Structure 1
Amino acid sequence: MAPPLPIVSPVSATLAGALLVTLYLVGVAVYRIFLHPLRKFPGPLLWKISPLPRVYHLMIGDLPFKVLELQAKYGKFVRLTPNELACNDPQAWKDIYGHRTGGLQEMPKYKGSYFVQSHLPPSIIEAEREEHNLIRRQLSHGFSEKSLRGQESIIGDYVNLLIQRLHEHGKNGTVPLNMREWFNWTTFDIIGDLGFGSSFDCLQHSDYHPWVKLIGSALHEAAAFRALGILNLRPVVDLMNKLGGTNKNNENMDLVRNKVHQRMKLGMERPDFMEGLIRKKNEWQMDDDRLAVNANVVIIAGSETTATLLSGAVYLLTTNRDKLDKLVQEVRSSFKSDEEITLLSVNNLSYMLACLNEAFRMYPPVAADLPRTVPKGGATIGGKYVAENTVVSVWQWAINRNPQHWTEPEKYIPERWLGDPKYQNDALEAMQPFSFGPRNCIGRNLAYAEMRLILARIIYNFDMSICDDSLRWIGDQKTYLLWDKPSLNLYMTPVPQKVE
């Protein structure tokens, strides 16, 4: 007869299980600190062990600021998670995002931060290289110089309406206006027309279109998805989608699909952004969802980021009166009437371009990371060898304010972009607001043209002064995927027009 099996009490089993879990966690921590391929790169101890500190700062909206703080302490390479490095070196733009020669593989996007909604096809942002090139080639027609010239009257009409509305609502400079809203309304109306043949009518009604409101909520939701992706919990996102926990993003995509269908029903060729994709729809067997996800990128990238930079530029100018006065002098001495201010003529405003570039440096619309994965065989980044499968990125907020790259980085100084000898050692190439390399932003030329035209028309027509409640506008903000912008209140006093 076999001896009876020993009885294990529930308490003993629990203690044994706890011991095993503890030993496992200690083993993981020891490996990540002392044996991991990134062990020689500096960073806070807890960040080396777990991605949780990074996720925490992502969710509270201060992660880019924290990265700047860490890089000031640890140097140009900081280990943000057990398998991730933040790089603060101008050369890293080329090494991570640039074209790689000699048969070297382009660094792919990190799937933990992208591809978070697996029920949708990849957009131009997430697409693999071959598909990305096809989509970009077709979208590029709408962003060409030829198309931009054809779009000038469309853009000009909305800027005219903006100026009209500012006159009406500003009450001769006696009523403060929330310029964050007015810039958003203008850029969304423009992108609606340029992308899909119909405006959102925000300026017409001096109010948000329901879709425009929804986009902000969807971006907050997307930040949570990204956090789950970084924690390797993408199945949770999929489950949330099935259970209806991703309502904002789903509502947003439904509205995008409707907008695309409206554009397709126009049945005409026009120099807009979707024309190239629509023409290739059948040839590529591109379904409605694939069209919609790319349209969604066009809408957000072509409006929200432009409005953000304009808001930042106006804030920085109105809190640096000497810079604003210099820009006012340039604009008002260059034109005799509103009609002379065009997409072409604003190219001659050199100080304005410097003001916009300095705004990009101090308030980049995308302040955080654009993560890539080091391919097989590893790579040299900023002079350092980095092992394969490491997640790497340049953080725009951090590199744009690093005193090793910039003289007086916390000051708004457009003159650094105009050859001022005091700033001759500034690493201007460190600032890449449209990213770098084969996946840089296709809308760069349109964004600059649109921002110059809008800002020039406003400065020609109004004297701007900031309200006291907006004096800490940038300092009080949080940033997730994009900035969570509070009201930007300004008095807009009409300027008496010249009489010839």
Structure 2
Amino acid sequence: MISYHLNSDMAPLYLGSTSSMLLLGISLVAVYIAGVSFYRIFLHPLRAYPGPVLWRITSIPRSYYLMTGELAFIVAEFHAKYGTAVRIAPDELIYNDPQAWKDIYSHRTAGAAEFSKHERGYNLSSHIPTSIINSDREEHSLLRRQLSHGFSDKSMREQEPIIGAYVDLLIQRLYENSKGGTAPLNMREWYNWTTFDVIGDLGFGSSFDLLRESAYHPWILLITSTIRENAIFQALNHLGLQPILGLLHSWGLMPKNDEHMALVRAKLKQRMELGVERPDIIEGLIRKQNDLHIGFEKLSVNASLILLAGSETTATLLCGATFLLLTNPDKLAKLTEEVRSAFNSDDEITLTSVGKLTYMLAVLNESLRRYPPAAAELPRKAPKGGATVIGKFVPEDTAVAVWQWPINHNPNWWKDPMTFAPERWLDDPRYKGDRLDAMQPFSVGPRNCIGRNLAYAEMRLILARIVFNFDMRLADDSRRWFDGQRVYIVWEKPMLNVYMTPAAGREKAKAG
């Protein structure tokens, strides 16, 4: 019998060989890291752009702060330290200059290539079809043309009874639950319930009955988890792991997203089975589905986008506006005077009539500046051959973006940027130096938000009806509502508790 074993005299040699191989491997990795670091700091095409050293070497810090929901605030600090153009990843530049909105997002001059959507910010998995938000130029034009019917002036007039009915129900429920102003209401919930019911009807042909039941639908609770999950996948995407993410998605490791999309498909199928034309947002795509060769999955992805963009963002802005008004009583008093002097009854407050409220528009604009629902980036990619942004050349394929929260609070563009001052939107001489074009909450150019007019009309109507009917007071536990909030794709909002006291004479009028 032959025995194979290490001779005691050979053991040190074997162990020494293993240690040498391990040391060699560590040395090679160290040399590689040093080489990559040296290249990205001293030789890379973006080497002239300032930024923190570690961030210029690797995307790991960027991805970490994206997952923690702190990146928008870190970006603001970087702009304060390094200037208007900062390198926050090996191949990514961020801008804090009004001109960057035009250079990156606006319509290009004849013959100039556009900055396309950057796949790292939008394409989380190859298994998810493209939508209007991340499709190429040709497909985007086709989708936008069909969706635009649902956002036209004609459609808005036809949709007014639908929207108005839900706002009526909101006001009724607030009267029923406010207990004469003795019990605080969580307005985060009420705004969410209203905007989801509205978009459910406008996008899918039926509401979620949130206002009727005065309770969250399980789907709405799921959406928050879906957004958080998407932020994590987006952070991993920035590390160059998109092929792996596609595999993870196929293995069912985006469970919240999958569950959400299953509900979208069911709701969309229910809408399509109605078999009648409605003045809603999705009608244009359904009617032309075969002509445009839009499969059911692509239709579902676009329906999901409409649901999220048309509800969560509007509710977020209304929460922000309410908090800002209640912590600035003089502004609330001015808005209350405008609304209550403009109308004699609820019936007079419509999607059209609220357009004459100039201070209301200023309040909403200032709320969009201080608390933008989409606080982060809108990533683009420099076209082939490169392009110029704020007067400096950017190499092709470089990721570029303007971050909304940082540019909205830059003291170079705004006097007292942390102050809530609707007057800056009304030609007040105190704010004559403000760069109002620095704020672009709906983006600019050919891919700006198609729902801008509907969003403004809906926000005006809801806020006007609430201010007309109620005197509001912030509960003590919500006085620091802004503090500690994190932002992923949208804000992670805490409860917003408000005492809603029926305005003098209103409760009697309602009872009558």
TM-score bracket, normalised by the shorter chain, equals over 0.9
Query: Aligned residues: percent identity?
Result: 61
How far apart in 1 are the matches of 2:230 and 2:128? Answer: 13
Match of 1:456 in 2: 464
The counterpart of 1:297, out of the listed 277, 292, 305, is 305
The counterpart of 1:403, out of the listed 411, 423, 429, is 411
How far apart in 2 are the matches of 1:19 and 1:172? Answer: 73
How far apart in 2 are the matches of 1:20 and 1:340? Answer: 75
The counterpart of 2:196, out of the listed 182, 185, 188, is 188
For residue 397 of structure 2, what is the amino acid of its counterpart?
N
The counterpart of 1:437, out of the listed 430, 442, 445, is 445
Q: Is the partner of 1:181 in helix, strand or coil?
A: helix
Asked if structure 2 preserves the Cα contact closer than 8 Å seen for 1:87 and 1:395, the reply is: yes
For residue 78 of structure 2, what is the amino acid of its counterpart?
L
How far apart in 2 are the matches of 1:186 and 1:251? Answer: 23
Q: Is the partner of 2:472 in helix, strand or coil?
A: strand
Deviation at 1:157, TM superposition (A): 0.5
Please give the per-residue CA displacement for 1:386-444, whole angstroms capped at 9, x wherever unaligned. 11111000000000000000011010000000000010110000000001110000000
Deviation at 1:285, TM superposition (A): 2.2
Match of 1:170 in 2: 178
For residue 381 of structure 2, what is the amino acid of its counterpart?
T
Aligned pairs for 1:82-481 (under 5 A) are 82-481=90-489
Bigger drift between 231-240 and 14-23 goes to 231-240
How far apart in 1 are the matches of 2:293 and 2:387? Answer: 36
Larger Rg: 2
The counterpart of 2:72, out of the listed 64, 68, 81, is 64
In the alignment, does 2:481 pair up with 1:487? no
Asked if structure 2 preserves the Cα contact closer than 8 Å seen for 1:228 and 1:236, the reply is: no
How far apart in 2 are the matches of 1:146 and 1:292? Answer: 25
Please give the per-residue CA displacement for 1:313-339, whole angstroms capped at 9, x wherever unaligned. 000000000000000000001100111
Gaps (5+ residues) in structure 2? Answer: 1-12
For residue 169 of structure 2, what is the amino acid of its counterpart?
L
The counterpart of 2:49, out of the listed 41, 48, 65, is 41
Deviation at 1:383, TM superposition (A): 1.6
The counterpart of 2:82, out of the listed 59, 63, 74, is 74
The aligned length equals 495
Asked if structure 1 preserves the Cα contact closer than 8 Å seen for 2:404 and 2:441, the reply is: yes
Deviation at 1:497, TM superposition (A): 2.9
How far apart in 2 are the matches of 1:231 and 1:186? Answer: 38
Match of 2:33 in 1: 25
How far apart in 2 are the matches of 1:221 and 1:106? Answer: 30
Asked if structure 2 preserves the Cα contact closer than 8 Å seen for 1:405 and 1:426, the reply is: yes
Q: Is the partner of 2:244 in helix, strand or coil?
A: helix
Deviation at 1:284, TM superposition (A): 2.1
Deviation at 1:235, TM superposition (A): 2.4
How far apart in 2 are the matches of 1:82 and 1:477? Answer: 28
Match of 2:19 in 1: 11
Q: Is the partner of 1:171 in helix, strand or coil?
A: helix
Asked if structure 1 preserves the Cα contact closer than 8 Å seen for 2:96 and 2:402, the reply is: yes
Q: Is the partner of 1:408 in helix, strand or coil?
A: coil
Asked if structure 1 preserves the Cα contact closer than 8 Å seen for 2:127 and 2:250, the reply is: no
Deviation at 1:280, TM superposition (A): 1.1
How far apart in 2 are the matches of 1:62 and 1:19? Answer: 35
Q: Is the partner of 2:119 in helix, strand or coil?
A: coil
Please give the per-residue CA displacement for 1:170-226, whole angstroms capped at 9, x wherever unaligned. 100011100011000000000011111100100010011111111110000000110
Q: Is the partner of 2:181 in helix, strand or coil?
A: coil
How far apart in 2 are the matches of 1:9 and 1:373? Answer: 48
Please give the per-residue CA displacement for 1:278-297, whole angstroms capped at 9, x wherever unaligned. 11111122211010000000
How far apart in 1 are the matches of 2:128 and 2:57? Answer: 32
Gaps (5+ residues) in structure 1? Answer: 1-5
How far apart in 1 are the matches of 2:321 and 2:27? Answer: 57
Deviation at 1:32, TM superposition (A): 0.5
How far apart in 2 are the matches of 1:122 and 1:377? Answer: 26
